[in-house]
A and B are shown apart, each in its own frame.
Chain A
């Protein structure tokens, strides 16, 4: 069972889908990780016992703090998002794609692990895609492996590239490895829900956990709000809804009323950067969930 309310992480790392300026300011504010921890603890006290976490440079510091806190270490469910795409885009600009793979996997830990295989050089390694992909996943997850990992999400840039290139066997490799090695739910973030659902069906991944933007304005919803809603109505999946407030355009009440009126919505990511509105938001979500449960299971029954 996945958590109903998952604390978002974007605000901690300067990601703001409405205003880069505001994102940059929050990035500076949360430079002090104790401020992040304060929000995590506050949310935990108010029943939000789960958190999204990207593998941003700053996230590893937060992970360290969580591991040193016995309550959070076991109690806080972590929904990890890999890889941290913005870092790789920057690195690709800085040194090119091939150098990224070389540098990432060339470090002692992974070089040793791949052993003679690695010493055969990149020409050889590329022939065993499975081994390479698994090594890349492990490289990303390494610093977070001791956390209470509930699910590991494949970042939308990767998920959507896999869709575009039409190589869905990568989803299979990913799902098997996450399940077997980390005992976590293999999950996917996407900007193209209907297409992803079809592709996952094709490789036999049933009832997948998917994170995607959904709000009644249709902001960041592809290919259209209608097609997205139709996909939820005609498929079996667990949706973790993000961008539910349309980057602050919607008030929590109207936003969550809409989101929980949709089928398959299991859970929401909530961006909290001050404790001020957090409780109100959590209560609103719980009320909407309760409302839906009453409709689905009438009290008389």
Chain B
């Protein structure tokens, strides 16, 4: 399978590396606007380089495309792939605003085309295990949750597209909290209402802090706090704590802890604690964490079997609608806002 990558930044380097190492997959072309990066790649590797996306598709005719560009370029590039019936992987988030993606989502509806959006937390062992426990029903009715996503990243005005609203769509909510929002949606289903507050401090155009309360369709409620400007978090860290009728569950990047009042569905009463080493499974090739390999493998295998993946464009569109509601509510000082 021949894969072309557009956008050779941090994530483009990563996905290209992982996929190129897979059996039967070959990196056939790369596209970027930076002559420096293209020149660098060209002198290292015999790969065809392009500065025009459509021309690359014309010339390389790839079997799949990886789109790792700034967010404002996602929709036009993804639409081009749909038109040409090429399966694509798109780094998250999907778009600047959810309405930007409406036509794209509609155009994919009636096609049997594999798409995936890079919500890779679903492939982290602990979050996967938590999903399994929640889906088992052992906890009984879910009552509420609180969740945080923090990283110590920005303590001065940021440079580059991530901090320009026109290119990124927003700040920490769309840039990072979407990982958490995707997990919450995966765990608890559809969100009906959102109330949110945001705050700029280091950035001029986008928010550095956000706090949001969610009401889910099936009655679960809970809040999320997010920031990329919290000290002492070397890596991006997500924690979710769930209260339920039969007990509670705590999950983060390092462990899952389950507490049950009584034995249910094969889970024992009291604390069950699973750490990453308990859940670890080796992968064929690891760059930057096994979750990326598992995600990219799911994408490639879905193309081979023409099966859809759960974390597709449609799912990412739902995440985007929640983001829109967060920004809209925050502008009205937290007024409850319906997720369309």
Give A contacts to B, CB under 8 Å.
14-15, 17-21, 23-24, 27-28, 86, 89-90, 92-99, 101, 122-123, 125-129, 132, 157, 160-161, 163-167, 169-170, 191-192, 195, 217-225, 227, 246-247, 249
Is B271's CB within 8 Å of the partner chain A?
Answer: no
Which one of B10, B233, B252, B290 contacts A97 once the chains associate, using CB atoms below 8 Å? B10
- Chain A residues positioned under 8 Å from B39 (CB to CB): 123, 126-127
Contact between chains at B17 and A164 (CB < 8 Å): yes
A165-B16 CB under 8 A given contacts A93-B153, A223-B282? yes
Interface string of B269-288 (1 = CB under 8 A from A): 00000011100101111111
Is B234's CB within 8 Å of the partner chain A?
Answer: yes
Q: Please, could you name 21 A-B residue pairs with CB atoms under 8 Å apart, sorted by A? A: A19-B254, A27-B234, A92-B9, A97-B9, A98-B34, A123-B39, A126-B35, A126-B36, A126-B37, A132-B40, A160-B17, A160-B287, A163-B287, A165-B20, A166-B20, A170-B44, A218-B280, A219-B276, A222-B284, A223-B283, A249-B277
Give the number of residue pairs across the A-B interface with Cβ within 8 Å. 150
| Complex-state Cα separation, A132 to B41, whole angstroms | 12
Contact between chains at A23 and B234 (CB < 8 Å): yes
Contact between chains at B284 and A95 (CB < 8 Å): no
Is B143's CB within 8 Å of the partner chain A?
Answer: no
Q: Residue of A at shortest CB range from B285?
A: A192
Closest 10 CB pairs of A and B: A164-B17, A126-B39, A95-B159, A122-B36, A96-B160, A92-B10, A219-B277, A126-B40, A191-B286, A160-B287
Interface members, chain B 21-68 (any A CB < 8 Å): 21, 27, 34-40, 43-45
Other than the given A126-B39, A167-B44, 13 more pairs (CB < 8 A) read A19-B254, A20-B234, A27-B234, A86-B235, A90-B153, A94-B154, A123-B36, A126-B36, A132-B40, A161-B14, A164-B20, A169-B44, A227-B282
Contact between chains at B40 and A129 (CB < 8 Å): yes
| Complex-state Cα separation, A283 to B254, whole angstroms | 31
Q: Residue of B at shortest CB range from A129?
A: B43
Interface string of B220-250 (1 = CB under 8 A from A): 0000000010001111010000000000000
- Chain A residues positioned under 8 Å from B38 (CB to CB): 126
Which one of B253, B255, B282 contacts A221 once the chains associate, using CB atoms below 8 Å? B282
Which one of A24, A161, A225 contacts B234 once the chains associate, using CB atoms below 8 Å? A24
Among B14, B35, B38, B160, find the residue whose CB has the most chain A CB atoms closer than 10 A: B160
| Complex-state Cα separation, A227 to B16, whole angstroms | 24
Closest chain-B Cβ to A62's Cβ sits at a distance in Å of: 17
Closest chain-B Cβ to A14's Cβ sits at a distance in Å of: 5
Is B335's CB within 8 Å of the partner chain A?
Answer: no
Contact between chains at A19 and B277 (CB < 8 Å): no
